[in-house]
Structures are given as structure tokens and as C-alpha cells.
Structure 1
Amino acid sequence: MAEHTRKISLFALTSMVVGSMVGAGIFNLPGRFGAATGPFGAIIAWCIAGTGMYMLARVFQALAERRPDIDNGVFAYAKAGFGDYMGFLSAFGYWLGSILGNCFYWVLIGTTLGNFFPAFAGGNTLIAILVSLAGIWAFHFMILRGVQEAAFVNVVVTIAKIVPIIVALLFMLFAFNYQQFSENFFGGVDMPAKSLVAQVRDTMLITVFVFIGIEGASVYSRYAKTRADVGTATILGFVGVTGLMVAVTLLPYAVMPQAQIAGLSQPSLAGALEAVVGPWGKAFVSVGVLISVLGAFLAWSLICAEVAFAAARSRDMPKIFARENAQKVPSVALWVTNTLVSLFLISTYWSNDAFNFMLDMTSVTSLLPYLLVAGYGVILARSGQGYAEAPGERKRDMSFAWIAVVYTLFMFVAAGLKYVLLVMVLFAPGTLLYFWARREQQLTFFNQRELVIFGVVIVGAAIGLAGLLTGRITP
């Protein structure tokens, strides 16, 4: 395929960011926030999350401009700043988180259909899993036909799924009840007493989940028409989606008591609109959820395969993942990705709370890649590399990067030790892929610093596995 036919426009790159971010999470915000906090705590949470993720978006933008030689930046930046093994862990963590997120999307599809067809209730019944598996492999074969075609479908789906969200917001805005909003502001009646710090902390993982995808343009930087489009698409997508998410979170507090919001079944935006306009609102948003999640799954299937492909191309994962088909699609990476998604999905049949567990695990696995990208932003600004023509921007970019570092570290603390240990349990066997890749190149596995990091991973995995076996840690 000729190179020029593979290029993606700024609009398509921006829709990739929006399509990656506007997936399942935005439709679940009312219920998750309602169970944790009132509008005051929600505003504080969004200020923290919005500031942190905006700084991370600016880091992605700066790195795209200063290091145009680095493609597929999510893990490549980690490798450039922290070495081969950390680059691998970043790639593997991002890939794994994307796989878990894709599994979560299909659980939500089943849950949404369960509101109308009892056989799908919970999203992990036998019929729900079989239908989901059929959907996974239908998308798989469509993507195999070519990235350009899949990117076009993503643009169409991104536009289509925004419509139900806008409609829901308009109806809730017209039904805005100031008195109801005031009663909920510091925590509604019939809600458990909880400090403001605890309220904000309990929303943090969901904010990470809904912001995942901010790096969509960076992942696909090798397809951009110009490098400047990567940073522009990241900022445009971030600003637009953040506005939507804040509105989806706050407006339900003005149409129903917080206790009722907390009790809504997922997707909770459907229940919030139903409270305003009646049963048709629930059905309308549910259709939007199905379109949105299918579009997000398409975007993340592309990103999953692209990350594994890029890691193999840079020799951080086994070279078999770098194989492409005639349409220049990373076919082996796509086959492995969707096989793992299918296996994780099948495992949810035995899970009591697959919905929230998959959501939170997806969030935590994304934190390490984000932390390493922010850290590399600090390193690059300190070194001055790429700033010869704009030396005055070094201090600004370093400030952005440091704030992003502090934010992601705070998110690890908010997530809690349980999820960090569970991620270690997955990272330890995943390191076998690193050994495979290093052996192919006849390279030593670790230097001294990397050996220490590997030791930390093994110890954390052992503690996490012991916790699972003894019941102290429960999925």
C-alpha cells in the first residue's frame, strides 16, 4: 500500500482521541459519582483529574513536537527515558489494560441488553458471552481489511454516539431543579456519612478510566499527515470530552436525589434520563451506549494491536508481533489481542462483579505508562533536547510534566495497594515475553537497575498471589 494512502487527517486523529475516550465510562458516571459524592466533591474531583490529565495531554503534545523521531509514543517514550525493561513494562501494561478494557466493553454491552432481555442480565451469562464473542471476531475481521477503513468507521461511529449524550444533557438542563441540586450539593440525604477527602478519593479510578484514550493520537502518530496534528488532536479531544464528562456527572444531581442516582443500574445515564422524560429515555440512551461501546471497542482494538506491533518493531516484544498482512495491518498482534480478550471475557462467567473489577483494573494498568511518559517529559525538558528553537518553553514544559508526575503518583495511592499488587501478578508472567524478545536478539536480560525493578515486580506478584490464595485480596 502506498504511504500516502495510509495517512490520517487531523479530524480523523481527533476522532480517534474522542472515540477512545467516549466509550463505556461516560455513560456510567452518574451512578459511580452518585454513590461516592455530591456535586461539591464531584467538582473537586474533576478539577484534580482535569488538571492532571490536561498536564499529561500537554506532555504528549510537547513530546510529539520535541521528539518527532519517536512513533507510538506511549511505550517508546518510557523506553527512551528509563531503559528497555521499563519500556517493555509500559508497553505490556498499556496493552494489557487495553485488553481488559475491551473485555469490559462487552460486559457492559451485555449489561445494557439485560435491561431489555433477561437472558443477558449481568453481562456475563452464557448467551451474553456467546454474542460478545461473535462481536469481537466480527470486528477482528473488519480491522484485518485495513486500518484506513477502520479509521473511517471510527469517525462515523464517534459522531453517531455523541448525539444521545447531547440529547440527554439538553433534557436534563431544561429540567434543572436548583433546589434539588442544592440539597445534593454537599451530599444528599440518606447517604452514608463520609469525609470530603474520602468522597473525592472514591471517584478517582473512574476519572482515570474515562480519560483513558487521551493518547490515542500519539499511539497512531506514524499515520499522521504532520507531526503537529498529533498534539493538536490530543488537546482538541481532551477539551471537548472533558466538557461532556463534567456535564454528564453534574446535571443528574439537579433532577433526582443523590440516593436514587447511587442506586441506578448501569448504564446510569439511561436511568437519569428516564427520570426526566420517561421510559423512552432509557431506551434511547441504551442504544447510544451500544453504539458508543462498539465504536470504543473498534478504536481500542486498533490501539491494542498497534502497541504490540510497535513494541515488536522496536524489538521490545517478540518479533512475531511485528508481522503485517497485505493491508499493512499488524495481523499477528491483532489475533493475539482478540484471543486474550475472548479468554478474559469467558472468565467473567465465574465472576460476581466483573463490571467494576474490569473497570478498575483497566484504570490501574494504564497508570504506569502514563507515569513513565510524564517522567520522560521531565527528563527531556531538563536535557534541553529538541528545544534549540524554543528555549523559553523548557520551564513551562517541565512544570507541566512535574504536575503530571505528581498526579499519576497520587492516582496510584488513590487506587490502593490491592490493585497495584494485582497488576504485579500480571506483570510477572508477562515478563516472559521480554525474555523471549531479548533472547531473539542475544542480549542480556537486565542491567543492575532493571534487575532491581524485576525483583520488585516478582515480590509484588508473590504478595498479590498469596493474597488471592488466602482470600485477603478478592477480585
Structure 2
Amino acid sequence: MSESSTQKLSVMTLTAMVVGSMVGAGIFSLPQHFGQVTGPFGALIAWSISGFGMLMLAFVFQSLSCRKPDLDSGVHSYAQAGFGDYLGFSSAWGYWAGTCLGNVTYLIIINSTMGAVFPVLDDGTTIYAVLLSSIVLWAFHFLILRGIKEADYINNIVTISKIIPIIMFLVLVAVGFKPEIFMKNFWGGGEFSWSGIFEQIRGTMLVTVFVFLGIEGASVYSRYAKNRKDVGVATLFGFTSVLIILILITMLSYGVMDREELAGLRNPSMSGVLQAVVGDWGAVLIGFGLLIAVLGAYLSWSLLAAEVLYTAAAAGTMPKFLMIENKNKVPSAALWMTNITIQVFLIVTVLAQEAFVLARELTSSMNLIPYLLVAAYGFKLSFTGETYLSKDYKQRKFDFICGALATIFTTWLIYAGGLKYLLLSAVLYGPGTIFFILTKREQKTNKIFSTSELVLFAIAMIGAFIAIFNLVKGNIVI
């Protein structure tokens, strides 16, 4: 892509990319997902843990954008600088694959929303739904190929437009809020126990990760920022704004319907909640808002996915062909690879029992490794003192605490996500290493893997083999 001044992005545009990436399918499904697992008390603790952990990660992104301005290609560049080429590749590959899966969830929920009116689309995974999704997929593909600035301009408009129905939801549901229903739901059903609350919280973790995905949106485009400090400002402002909205949607919904009713809602479940307050027109409003939000997030994530492959290739961790650009300076090869992959994932959804849940949870799981490596790199810098002067003691101490807490948090998320999705992630991580090998051969490197990298590759392949074996045996169901 061109580095000309016409391509430079303002803090408002960077913030819109963060908000646009985060506010997508997940936010409109929160009432149902939380209703299935926990009540207001467990939800408050879950949001507190996730919000605090992601805030620490946001601080790490902010610190790294200022202390390592030369690492201007986002998530994978930090992993590569801190832990070598293979983990740098794995970070880029995992983040990219997770982004592709995230776009699949957006396409599914678009069709699921329309399925309430057009039964042929059903839950968004019928053959007709996949055909419609494919049309949307390739329409956006050719839109982006026309030029990055046009896509950014549309993203800004969409980000503003989709917030309006969400604000209306919050206001109307607040008016219809009933404290007695909220208190009935408070403990999540049954008698209170800390072990029960712990399992409720654990059950929400991948959901909260999914709605926080996109927090790194400004970081991925840091090389286009007018001012490097704008990257950190955009990340923190976008994150804080979205966190407040997420908490309000979850808490207010518990004051409208019983938890069991929330759990049984059709997605987008915000539609059912607002319908219970104001009638059928509320469902139409949320359906309209969701379509705008999801299409906007889809655009943001399509840009992110292509940019990740392009910058990884430029950094020498992906094959060179992914650096090919068209006449509009758009990374066309990376975009084609991304959308062909999404098309394959869409076809697979026809075979999955719970395609939306599978894609959502696997999206979260795929992104956890890249997030963990970013957190660990922030911790490593502050621990070793690299880039810090003696007068930076207080800042170094603050960054050390943020890096440590973010590392602990992302490690906890991998545990909370469960073995199933970790193994399914290995199916994508292990075989994907072929692109790393191709890259090293392009570079005529004598030794493709270091000893430690070979161990990591072996672990990924063993995990992939175990996952495939259990899929064939029926022990893991998708």
C-alpha cells in the first residue's frame, strides 16, 4: 500500500476502526449467551475480569506502539521481535485465520436475522444462506479492491450509524427495566455457591473474548497513523466506549426477561429483549441495526485480514506473493487468499451442528495465542529494560505490571476456553506451517526451525492429529 500522505489516518478514523471491529455480531447476541450460562452477579464478575484483563492488554498495545514505532505492522511483528520467526509467523497465521472465522460468524448471523422473515435462510447455515453469504463476500471483496480509502470512508459512516440503534436499545430497555426480575435472575438460578459462580464465569470467557476482538484494530494500521500517539489514544478510547456498552446491554437485559427466557431467545437476542419492551417494531429496529453493524464489522475485519498477510509477507514471515498489490495499492493477493478461505469455511458451516457457536468460539481461541504473545512481549520489554531510560522508572514499573497481568489473563483465557477449541486451533496452526516453510525456502535459509521452534511445531502437529482423530471417532462434535 502507498505510504503517501493521502493514506494517513486520523485518530477519529483509527478509533472508528477499533469500534467498528469490536461492535459486530457478538454484541447483538449477548443477552442469550449470558442467559445460557450465568446471572447478573456472575456476569458482573465476568465483565470485571475480562474488562480489566483487556484494559491491561490495551495498555500493552499503547506502550508498544510508542516504544517500538518501527514495529508498525501490528500483532505479529511484536511476536516476531520478541520470540523469533516461527512464533511471529504463528501469530500472524492464527490472527488471520481467526479473522476469517470471525467474518464467517458475521455472515451467518446476517442470514439468521433475515431467516426470521425468510424461512429458507433458517439459522444462516442452509445452502441458500451460504449462497447469499457468498454474494456478500465477493461484493465486499471487489469493493475493497477499489481502494483502501473508499473502504475506510464507508467504515467511518457505518460505525456511527450502527451505534444509534444500540443507544436506542439501552434507553428503551432502561425505561422497561424491572428490578424484581433483575433480582430474581441475580444468582443465575439455584442456590449460591462460589464453585457454581466460578463455572458460570468460565463459561462466559470465550464469549467476552469474542466481543473484545478488534481491540488491536488501530495497532494493525499504525503505519498509516498521522501521529504514533494516536494509536494508543484510539485503542483506549475505543475499548472503553465499547466496554461500557457491553456491560449495559448485559445488565439491562436481566431486568426485562427471566434468565431461562433470555437463554431461549433466537439470535440476535437483543431483538427479542427489545421486542418484549416495546413490541414488534423493536425487533425490526435491532435487526436493522445488526445488519449495519455486522456489515461494518465485516468490512473492518476484511481490511485487517488482508493487511495482516501483507505486512507479514513484508516482514519476511509469509511468502512474498502476498505482497502483490493492484493498481489501487490494495494487497490483492492477500485479499484473494482471505476470501477464498472464508468461502471454504462457509461451505463447512452446512455440515456443522452449531455453526455460529463453533465459529465464534474458534475465532476467540485462534486469537488467544497472538494476544498472549503481545502481552508477553510487553512484559519482556519492561522486564529487560529495553527502550527505557533511568528516568522512565515509573513508566517501566507501570508497563511491567500491565504486561504481567495481561500475560496472566490471556493464559487464563486459554485454560477457560477448554481443550476442544485448543485442539481444533491446532488443526489450523499445525498444517498452516507449510507457509512458514515456503517462506524460509524463498529466503534460502539453511535451517528452517531452531530446536525450540521444532518442538513447538511438533506439539502443534500432535494436537492437530489428536483433534482429527477425535473428530473422526465422534468424540469432538462440530
- TM-score class, shorter-chain normalisation, is over 0.9
Q: Encode CA deviations 1:36-59: one digit per residue, 9 max, x unaligned.
A: 000000000000000100000000
1:350 maps onto 2:359 in alignment: no
Per the alignment, residue 433 of structure 2 pairs with 431
Q: Is the 8 A contact 1:364 1:419 kept in 2?
A: yes
Q: Encode CA deviations 1:357-395: one digit per residue, 9 max, x unaligned.
A: 000000000000000000000111122222226332111
1:186 maps onto 2:187 in alignment: yes
1:98 maps onto 2:99 in alignment: yes
Query: Pick from 388, 392, 402: which aligns with 2:404?
Result: 402
Q: Is the 8 A contact 1:79 1:88 kept in 2?
A: yes
Determine helix, strand or coil for the equivalent of 2:120: helix
Q: Encode CA deviations 1:98-151: one digit per residue, 9 max, x unaligned.
A: 001111110111111001110111101122111111111111111111111111
Determine helix, strand or coil for the equivalent of 2:210: helix
Q: Is the 8 A contact 1:188 1:257 kept in 2?
A: no
Per the alignment, residue 477 of structure 2 pairs with 474
Per the alignment, residue 359 of structure 1 pairs with 360
What's the offset of the Cα at 1:425? 1.2
Q: Is the 8 A contact 1:66 1:385 kept in 2?
A: no
Structure 2 CA distance for partners of 1:458 and 1:360, relative to 1, 3 Å: same
Q: Encode CA deviations 1:197-238: one digit per residue, 9 max, x unaligned.
A: 111111111000000000000001111111101111000000
Per the alignment, residue 442 of structure 2 pairs with 440
Q: Is the 8 A contact 1:52 1:407 kept in 2?
A: yes
Structure 2 CA distance for partners of 1:164 and 1:334, relative to 1, 3 Å: same
Structure 2 CA distance for partners of 1:11 and 1:30, relative to 1, 3 Å: same
Query: Counterpart amino acid of 1:447?
Result: S
What's the offset of the Cα at 1:189? 7.1
Per the alignment, residue 76 of structure 1 pairs with 77
How large is the Cα RMSD of the aligned pairs? Answer: 1.5
More displaced stretch, 376-385 vs 308-317? 376-385
Q: Is the 8 A contact 1:189 1:258 kept in 2?
A: no
CA distance in structure 2 between the partners assigned to 1:390 and 1:10 by the alignment: 26
Query: Counterpart amino acid of 2:435?
Result: L
Determine helix, strand or coil for the equivalent of 1:202: helix
Per the alignment, residue 228 of structure 1 pairs with 229
After TM superposition, the structure 1 = structure 2 runs for residues 177-216 of structure 1, keeping only pairs within 5 Å, are 177-188=178-189, 195-216=196-217
1:310 maps onto 2:323 in alignment: no
CA distance in structure 1 between the partners assigned to 2:237 and 2:138 by the alignment: 32
Per the alignment, residue 462 of structure 2 pairs with 459
Query: Counterpart amino acid of 1:455?
Result: A
Q: Is the 8 A contact 2:313 2:322 kept in 1?
A: yes
Give TM-score, length-normalised by structure 1.
0.98
CA distance in structure 1 between the partners assigned to 2:39 and 2:73 by the alignment: 39
What's the offset of the Cα at 1:194? 7.9
Give TM-score, length-normalised by structure 2.
0.97
1:320 maps onto 2:340 in alignment: no
More displaced stretch, 4-13 vs 129-138? 129-138
CA distance in structure 1 between the partners assigned to 2:330 and 2:50 by the alignment: 34
Query: Pick from 438, 441, 453: which aligns with 1:450?
Result: 453
Query: Counterpart amino acid of 2:432?
Result: G
Per the alignment, residue 340 of structure 2 pairs with 339
Query: Counterpart amino acid of 1:407?
Result: F
CA distance in structure 2 between the partners assigned to 1:34 and 1:137 by the alignment: 35
Q: Encode CA deviations 1:140-174: one digit per residue, 9 max, x unaligned.
A: 11111111111110000000111111101100111
Q: Is the 8 A contact 1:190 1:259 kept in 2?
A: no
1:20 maps onto 2:21 in alignment: yes
Per the alignment, residue 136 of structure 2 pairs with 135
Q: Encode CA deviations 1:256-293: one digit per residue, 9 max, x unaligned.
A: 11111111110000000000001110111011111110
CA distance in structure 2 between the partners assigned to 1:274 and 1:287 by the alignment: 13
Query: Counterpart amino acid of 2:221?
Result: Y
After TM superposition, the structure 1 = structure 2 runs for residues 268-279 of structure 1, keeping only pairs within 5 Å, are 268-279=269-280
CA distance in structure 2 between the partners assigned to 1:384 and 1:148 by the alignment: 38
Structure 2 CA distance for partners of 1:152 and 1:179, relative to 1, 3 Å: same
How many equivalent residue pairs? 475
CA distance in structure 1 between the partners assigned to 2:74 and 2:160 by the alignment: 26
Per the alignment, residue 295 of structure 1 pairs with 296
Per the alignment, residue 30 of structure 2 pairs with 29
What's the offset of the Cα at 1:190? 12
CA distance in structure 1 between the partners assigned to 2:372 and 2:75 by the alignment: 10
Query: Counterpart amino acid of 2:96?
Result: W
What's the offset of the Cα at 1:312? 0.5
**Identical columns (%):** 50
Q: Is the 8 A contact 2:3 2:224 kept in 1?
A: no
CA distance in structure 2 between the partners assigned to 1:428 and 1:456 by the alignment: 8
Query: Counterpart amino acid of 2:113?
Result: T
CA distance in structure 1 between the partners assigned to 2:234 and 2:138 by the alignment: 29
Determine helix, strand or coil for the equivalent of 2:325: coil
Determine helix, strand or coil for the equivalent of 2:125: coil
What's the offset of the Cα at 1:455? 1.3
CA distance in structure 2 between the partners assigned to 1:110 and 1:377 by the alignment: 40
Q: Is the 8 A contact 1:111 1:123 kept in 2?
A: yes
Query: Counterpart amino acid of 1:430?
Result: G
What's the offset of the Cα at 1:73? 2.1
